[in-house]
């Protein structure tokens, strides 16, 4: 992206001034190198989002922003229903509530090293991965409805996990307002046998070492110190979420025309929040969020079973679970007034600061854990929300490294076996059913996650707490 098209507000803050049909400015958080590495599509897509009806404040792009469907990935935008605000399936994404949860094992690196190969094999056998993967949880109609309404709460009641896990999940593991009746038969069919599966793409289960602590007080509260081993799970709502996104993009394309909404890009198909289609989508999307929360909860249970068999001293206590493809109704202060807004976060993580009432009591004076996934061979990070992030970005932060090239480009540069061997030389074990999938997700296909996290921290979106380095990765 050419910096001459932007107004520089600070070292890590840039703005696209309102022009053409834009209703609000666009604010991008990044350093010069990250800005220059962003494709021009980020500029165009963010500018188009800023032209949508009812948008409030600014449209935001996180340091990991890159081209997406309609909205840029790493995009944040809030809409006011009382001012004709819209909801957009493209502003949430196809993998609804894709997110990360991290668990502290209570073990040290030296406890894991002698069992690393055995642990990798056992996790790979126990947690289904890959395109179309199915698990051992099979839902009838009643089970599907209960899961879509109650999310991780349902999973815990089915024996997948612990009641205390729910306190460490956004919305306590269950988003209210889910409407299974708005989820199509086809979407439910796709999910009936996919609970407890990782899927493909950039999804993973990683065993990681805490390599560095930036904020000792917060890290201690989160239960980690240097040398500890954690487990991170990255996945979402699988086929159900994708089907919902696909179906509602079609419906919203028709609805936008019916409501006289002029779309700057057909991929920004949307509907007024208070319209029938808008409310239908929100009900289906919330059901998909609950599906993703239940899915990660079941995978957590499977991982705990493996550790219990091989390393019985392991605890696997949940630190936190965050989603990064959602639209949530939240209170935010805009121009000195508190307003109820529908905040779209696509490839962006909620980052509530200290004092927020929705945070667990033990984290309330520290801020929400913000979990930033790496890219198989690179670091992941734990951050914490800042008070000022509400003003800066509707309490949002980045979600990962962000792609620097397409999957097709990546397969022209790497082969899966090559990537696996190179990582093995660095002591990182990879298990995956798809060599092509590994090539698509090669670490070199992503931006420098450390630079992304540094930009988010320096911009004030969240503060650095800990750096995690992979030991083994189960890859979709």
Query: Which residues are part of the catalytic machinery?
Result: 399
Q: Which two tokens stand for residue 59?
A: 């449209």
CA proximity to 399, closest of 470, 445, 441, 346? 346
CA proximity to 393, closest of 469, 315, 460, 473? 460
Q: Is 138 exposed, middle or buried (0-12, 13-18, 19+ CB in 10 A)?
A: exposed
Question: Which phi and psi angles does 203 have, rounded to 5°?
Answer: -80, 150
Cβ neighbours of residue 460 under 8 Å, at least 6 residues apart? 386, 388, 389, 392
Element (H, E) at 212: strand 204-213
Cα dihedral angle (261, 265, 267, 273), rounded to 10 degrees?
A: -30
Cβ neighbours of residue 378 under 8 Å, at least 6 residues apart? 401, 443, 446, 448, 449, 450, 470
Report the distance separating Cα 138 and Cα 436, nearest Å: 29
Q: Is residue 229 within 8 Å of 329, Cβ to Cβ?
A: no
Q: Cα 144 from chain centroid?
A: 23
Strand partners, 60: 27, 76
Q: Which two tokens stand for residue 177?
A: 């307002």
CA proximity to 89, closest of 232, 257, 227, 288? 288
Provide the residue count of the chain: 476
Report the distance separating Cα 293 and Cα 237, nearest Å: 8
Q: Is 371 exposed, middle or buried (0-12, 13-18, 19+ CB in 10 A)?
A: buried
Report the distance separating Cα 214 and Cα 466, nearest Å: 6
Report the distance separating Cα 148 and Cα 123, nearest Å: 26
Cβ neighbours of residue 234 under 8 Å, at least 6 residues apart? 98, 99, 100, 202, 203, 204, 205, 206, 373
């Amino acid at each position: 992206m050419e910096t001459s098209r932007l107004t520089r507000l600070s070292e890590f803050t840039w703005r696209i001034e309102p022009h053409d049909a834009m209703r609000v400015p666009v604010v991008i958080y990044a350093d010069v190198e990250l800005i220059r590495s962003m494709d021009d599509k980020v500029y165009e897509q963010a500018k188009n989002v800023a032209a949508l009806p009812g948008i409030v404040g600014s449209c935001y792009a996180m340091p990991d922003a890159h081209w997406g469907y309609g909205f840029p990935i790493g995009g944040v935008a809030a809409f006011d229903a009382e001012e004709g605000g819209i909801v957009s399936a493209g502003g949430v994404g196809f993998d609804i509530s894709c997110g990360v949860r991290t668990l502290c094992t209570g073990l040290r690196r030296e406890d894991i090293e002698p069992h690393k190969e055995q642990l990798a094999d056992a996790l790979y056998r126990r947690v289904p991965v890959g395109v179309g993967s199915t698990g051992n949880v099979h839902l009838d109609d009643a089970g599907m409805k209960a899961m879509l309404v109650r999310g991780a709460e349902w999973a815990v009641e089915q024996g997948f996990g612990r009641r205390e896990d729910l306190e460490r999940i956004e919305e306590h593991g269950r988003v209210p307002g889910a409407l299974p009746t708005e989820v199509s038969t086809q979407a439910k069919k796709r999910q009936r046998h996919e609970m407890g599966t990782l899927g493909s793409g950039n999804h993973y289960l990683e065993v990681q070492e805490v390599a560095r602590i930036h904020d000792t007080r917060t890290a201690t509260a989160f239960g980690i110190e240097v040398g500890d081993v954690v487990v991170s799970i990255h996945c979402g709502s699988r086929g159900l979420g994708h089907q919902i996104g696909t179906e509602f993009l079609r419906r919203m394309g028709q609805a936008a025309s019916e409501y006289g909404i002029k779309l700057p890009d057909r991929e920004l198909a949307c509907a007024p929040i208070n319209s029938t289609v808008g409310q239908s989508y929100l009900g289906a999307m919330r059901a998909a969020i609950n599906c993703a929360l239940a899915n990660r909860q079941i995978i957590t249970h499977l991982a705990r079973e493996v550790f219990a068999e091989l390393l019985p001293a392991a605890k696997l206590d949940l630190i936190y679970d965050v989603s990064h493809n959602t639209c949530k109704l939240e209170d935010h202060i805009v121009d000195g007034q508190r307003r109820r807004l529908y905040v779209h976060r696509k490839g962006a993580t909620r980052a509530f600061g200290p004092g927020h009432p929705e945070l667990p009591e033990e984290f309330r004076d520290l801020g929400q854990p913000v979990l930033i996934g790496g890219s198989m061979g690179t670091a992941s990070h734990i951050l914490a929300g800042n008070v000022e992030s509400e003003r800066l970005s509707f309490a949002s932060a980045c979600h990962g490294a962000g792609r620097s090239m397409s999957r097709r480009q990546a397969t022209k540069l790497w082969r899966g076996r090559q990537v696996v061997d190179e990582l093995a030389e660095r002591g990182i074990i990879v298990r995956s059913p798809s060599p092509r999938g590994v090539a698509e997700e090669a670490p070199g296909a992503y931006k420098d996650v450390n630079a992304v996290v540094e930009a988010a921290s320096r911009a004030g979106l969240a503060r650095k707490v800990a750096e995690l380095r992979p030991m083994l990765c189960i890859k979709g």
